[in-house]
Structure 1
Amino acid sequence: MNTLLNQYQALKVEQPTIKAVDAALKLATSEAQLVAAQVGISAIKLDINHIESILKGLKKLEHVMAMTRNELVVNEIKGCYEKLYTSERNNQKMAIAINPGGIDLRLFLYKWASVFAVKLNNMVSIQCFDKHGRAVHKIFSTEQTNLTAYDALINKYSDNEQSTTLTVEPKVIDELKFKPLEAINVTGFLKAWENLQDVHHFPALLTEFEIGRTQALELAQPRWAQEISPISLPFIFETLKTQQNEVMIFVNNDAAVQIYSGTLTNLKQAGPWYNVLDEDFNLHIKSDDFARAFVVIKPTDNGETLVHSIEFFDERGNTVMTLFGRRVEGKKQSTDWVELCEQLKQKNLAA
């Protein structure tokens, strides 16, 4: 008898609209194990060893909705999986879909552990999980999805073993730790920041000096960073909406990054969630749970070109969302975006 499935079905009778991630929490299991319990009924296990081919096959589905989330932010973009490339370095598989304005992804496939095809009411999906059973990326059908291509993809890459149980590794929650100041080469770190040639080199800078991101931003104040109120988000989004200024919104978890590029139109607070509810883009944010936020400035190889970002963190120091003004590579940011970032910095200094 599938006890977990019975518990889940009973819970859905009590709470018909409960989301799988919340149901898993209530049932003291992982979301991947909850999906595995439905194998043979509403789920099919796919062969994770063919994840690259599965992702490349998504293009034939045509119009779908891609979703990537963490505990505080959910990013949903409708479009097509185009220009998706896979690579491998040091036995680590990666994938990238470069499609600004559409489904734009950076996927760390070596952290993916299981994948399922799941049917929910009139919607079908492909759901991907890490070794801890946490959802890292999901693809949902829309009214324009080519369902014949979906069925062919599922049939081709179904796993030979269709078990209703799944083993996951417990997730160890890392405590946020700050390095003693005397153990950091602060002068060297700030000089290295000043000499950055590319914003993409910043993570390597943190690794080189063995500093966590929030501590690095603290050290870089006030020249390269400025802490701002973590509840600034509605003001930021309302300003972007009024200006119709294009923004890039990065939402990430440990194994995937999903990027929206464009303007914002329909903003709405609903309970604890602050939402963007546009036609092809939805964003759902528990902004009251943001622990910290910073305006961050990074130089580029063009001495006159600086890149401003706004970064939001949870209570454990994890990046949950990052905003950039949309710009052409090598070109300056829009004046409106820079002025917004400077306004946020000044408001915080005044406070």
Structure 2
Amino acid sequence: MSLLNEYRQLQAEQATIRAVDAAVKLQTTEAQLIAAQVGEGVTQLDVTQLEGILKGLKKLQHVMALTRNAQVVSEISGCYEKIYCHERNGVKTAISINPTGIDLRLFLSKWHSVFAVQTHPKYSSIQFFDKYGVAVHKVFTTEHSDIEAYQQLVNQYKAQEQSAELTVLAPEAILNEDKPINDIDIQGFRQGWQNLQDVHHFPALLTQFALSRTQGLEVAGEQWAQEVSPMCLTSVFETVKQQQSEIMIFVNNHAAVQIYTGRLDNLKQVGQWFNILDNGFNLHILVNQFSRAFVVKKPTDNGATEVHSIEFFDAQGSTIMTLFGRRSEGNEQSADWLALCNSLRCEEVVA
């Protein structure tokens, strides 16, 4: 039986099954499952034209952007504004700066295929995948989208070859990146941390000392990083809701970061998923699959201001979500956010 027929049979048995879950059941990848439907509601687009496709999304007007990893799904409704694409040393990236809407950091060199998908009789989507067949970003039309502009975008960037077969690579084994503790220049690393003048320089500091992110947080010292229970997430969101303060929620996979900035209102546990179900923003979280969390402080604004974050990791040490209190450049984060972070640190110390 062909993959498409197997999928149709599974859909007949489980009408609401998501493609990502169906792919697991059928022992394939989501990208290959989508490709199997080419010509039946699916059109393969030209992946070499990512910049044109992304910039063309603005014409669709109101859409829903989705970025996910295995534990968290972020859905933000709005418009694609101010998409800037860059290429440096052969590495392609894109950025959409829009703190009140669809706010993205995209690593296009890791994107391998793209499809236009008829997801519903009334709605469609553009779906992007990596070389392993894993979805890295999706864009869904809504009742307020310009469907004619969507169809023009598909027609403009339709790939010349429409194949129902897609070649993907087997997932790479995740190696333990941690180095022996005796090989780490802990004093030098802590001094480098103290000398940070911009939070965006932190990855370079980790590279300089050959540390994974979690190992860097482990050896930073309690002045800068304190490990806390990842189960604190629900109470953090409850507190932010009560304070009615603005939070920044970064959800990422290896090829995309999606950022929500704003207040929280409707928090709800549904089965194993903890959810934020707000107008224009939905977040779905499998908290029980979080492995580690840290409250972190980093100097920024030329070292004059310390920025507090709460960072969450999976069992492999990959960042899956990061929380910040919203702030404007040069200013402190709100007193409420600083108090929340400090209370978490104190609770862990007491425990």
TM class, shorter-length: over 0.9
Q: Equivalent residues in 2 for 1:75-86 (5 A)?
A: 75-86=74-85
Which residue number corresponds to residue 38 of structure 1? 37
Separation in 2, partners of 1:221, 1:350: 17
1:136 matched to which residue of 2? 136
Taking the aligned partners of 2:124 and 2:174, their CA distance within structure 1 comes to 35
Q: Which residue of 2 aligns with 1:221?
A: 221
What's the counterpart of residue 115 of structure 1? 114
Cα pair 1:296 1:310 within 8 Å, conserved: yes
* 1:8 aligned residue: 7
1:266-310 deviation line (CA, Å, top 9, x unaligned): 000011110000010000000111000000000124444100000
- SS of alignment partner, residue 231 of structure 1: helix
**Do the aligned residues in 1 keep the contact of 2:196 with 2:303 (CA within 8 Å)?**
no
- In structure 1, the partner of 2:146 is 146
Q: Is the 8 A contact 1:196 1:299 kept in 2?
A: yes
SS of 1:348 mapped into structure 2 = helix
- Asked whether the 8 Å contact 1:294–1:311 carries over to 2, the reply is yes
- Could you list the runs of 5+ residues in structure 2 that have no partner in the other structure? none
Contact 2:277 2:283 in 1 (8 A): yes
In structure 1, give the amino acid aligned to 2:250.
F
Partners of 2:234 and 2:218 in 1: CA distance? 24
Residues 241-252 of structure 1: pairs in structure 2 closer than 5 A:
241-252=241-252
Residue 104 of structure 1 aligns with an amino acid whose one-letter code is D
In the other structure, the counterpart of 2:255 is 255
Contact 1:67 1:74 in 2 (8 A): yes
Letter in 2 for 1:45: Q
The Cα offsets for residues 103-145 of structure 1, whole Å up to 9 and x where unpaired, read as 0000000110000000022220000000000000000011100
Q: Does 1:183 align with 2:197?
A: no
Contact 1:196/1:301 (<8 A) preserved:
no
- Helix, strand or coil at the partner of 1:38: coil
3-state SS, counterpart of residue 71 of structure 1 = coil
**What letter is aligned with 1:193?**
W
Aligned to 1:173: 173
Instruction: Give the equivalent residue in structure 1 for 2:277.
Output: 277
Q: TM-score, normalised by structure 2?
A: 0.98
3-state DSSP class of the match of 1:110? Answer: helix
Q: Aligned in 2, Cα 1:338/1:151: closer, same or farther, shift over 3 Å?
A: same
Native 8 Å contact 1:302 1:330 kept in 2: no
Number of residue pairs aligned between Structure 1 and Structure 2:
350
Q: Could you tell me whether the CA contact under 8 Å between 1:61 and 1:149 is conserved in 2?
A: yes
- Share of identical aligned residues, percent? 60
Q: CA deviation at 1:61?
A: 0.2
> Do structure 1's residue 293 and structure 2's residue 293 form an aligned pair?
yes
Q: Is the 8 A contact 2:198 2:303 kept in 1?
A: no
Q: Which residue of 2 aligns with 1:66?
A: 65
Counterpart residue number, 2:316: 316
Structure 2 CA distance for aligned equivalents of residues 19 and 344 of structure 1: 36
State whether residues 85 and 95 of structure 1, in contact with CA within 8 Å, keep that contact through their aligned partners in structure 2. yes
Q: CA deviation at 1:176?
A: 3.3
